């Protein structure tokens, strides 16, 4: 079976604390979990079934790979090197926030290699589509632009309002997700509440199209699958959702690329 001509980016799935920040942190494990895209690697990583998977184990609370180099506190507490989580919880002991030297070290050690890996994949591979893969809370956290709105959809896919992929691709991907996950097409929104983050905007149509994918955590962090106290999850549930993701991309590629 040939690989799907797709690159997958999973920038927020990690929960590791950088050793460089030892002694600086006040964040709890629960706050770290809530600020990440929990189990995103298990949900989206298709291994050698796609052309390339780019992922990290560093938590976004410490280095957010989906931010620009200029996006920093204090202008944005939820920027590349954060001062607070997306739920407005402090990350560092007061007075021990990263200084410019430590910020630079974190950028060089974790941020630049990730973006270098994306560019390397773009340069080396004949890609038909790239996906930046995330999960989203069912209700928007403190720093999100839609925090005053009602419950989020089951999926949001975004292309920076038409700038990083065609509308046809968006519609085909939404239809494929709807069929594979057995969810109502109305539960898959386009460019709402998300329009595509830094990764999608930076690399989209340069030359391959990019789409950002957001899955609602209600699909797996709820009910009998997940223990809120221990943060343990039913692994079979994750494997099932991963198979659905693979099926969605296979359906999408069959429809979009193979006859062209």
239-249 as b/e, with b when 16 or more CB fall inside 10 Å?
eebbebbbebb
What percent of the chain has pLDDT above 90?
Answer: 84
Q: Is the pLDDT reported for residue 143 higher than 70?
A: no
* Residue length of the chain: 260
Residues 88-109: what's their mean pLDDT?
Answer: 95
Within 8 A by CB and 6+ apart from 43, the residues are: 133, 135, 215, 220, 238, 241, 242, 245
Nearest in space to 91 (alpha carbons), one of 102, 10, 101: 102
Confidence category of residue 142, pLDDT binned at 50, 70, 90: low
Q: Is the pLDDT reported for residue 141 higher than 70?
A: no
198, 63 Cβ separation under 8 angstroms: no
Distance CA 137, CA 238 (A): 17
**Quick one: 187 exposed, middle or buried, by C-beta within 10 A (0-12, 13-18, 19+)?**
middle
Please give the residue that has the higher pLDDT: either 202 or 86.
202
CATH of domain 4-256: 3.40.630.40
Q: Is the pLDDT reported for residue 1 higher than 80?
A: no
Residues 177-192: what's their mean pLDDT?
Answer: 97
* Cα separations in angstroms, 16 against 57, 201, 209, 225: 6, 26, 30, 23
pTM, whole model, 2 decimals?
A: 0.94
Q: Is the pLDDT reported for residue 171 higher than 60?
A: yes
Annotated domain spans of the chain: 4-256
Give the tens place of pLDDT for each residue, 18-30. Answer: 999 999 999 999 9
Q: Is the pLDDT reported for residue 245 higher than 70?
A: yes
Within 8 A by CB and 6+ apart from 125, the residues are: 5, 7, 51, 52
pLDDT at 228: 86
Within 8 A by CB and 6+ apart from 236, the residues are: none
The tokens describing 165, both together, are 């992929």
Q: Is the pLDDT reported for residue 147 higher than 70?
A: no
């Amino acid at each position: 079976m040939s690989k799907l001509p797709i690159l997958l980016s999973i920038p927020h799935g990690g929960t590791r604390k950088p050793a460089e920040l030892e002694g600086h942190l006040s964040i709890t494990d629960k706050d770290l979990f809530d600020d990440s895209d929990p189990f995103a690697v298990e949900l989206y990583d298709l291994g050698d079934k796609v052309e390339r998977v780019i992922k990290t184990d560093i938590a976004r609370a410490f280095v957010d790979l989906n931010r620009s180099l200029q996006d920093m506190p204090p202008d944005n507490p939820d920027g590349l090197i954060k001062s607070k989580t997306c739920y407005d919880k402090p990350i560092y002991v007061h007075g021990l926030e990263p200084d410019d030297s430590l910020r630079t070290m974190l950028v060089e050690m974790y941020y630049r290699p990730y973006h270098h890996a994306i560019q390397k994949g773009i340069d080396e591979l004949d890609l038909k589509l790239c996906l930046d893969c995330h999960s989203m809370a069912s209700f928007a956290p403190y720093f999100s632009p839609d925090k005053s709105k009602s419950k989020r959809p089951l999926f949001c896919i975004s292309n920076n309002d038409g700038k990083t992929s065609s509308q046809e691709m968006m519609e085909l991907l939404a239809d494929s997700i709807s069929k594979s996950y057995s969810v109502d097409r109305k539960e898959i929104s386009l460019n709402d509440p998300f329009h595509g983050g830094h990764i999608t905007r930076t690399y989209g149509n340069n030359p391959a199209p990019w789409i950002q994918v957001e899955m609602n955590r209600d699909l797996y962090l709820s009910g009998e699958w997940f223990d809120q106290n221990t943060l343990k999850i039913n692994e079979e549930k994750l494997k099932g959702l991963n198979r659905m993701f693979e099926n969605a991309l296979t359906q999408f590629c069959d429809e979009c690329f193979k006859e062209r």
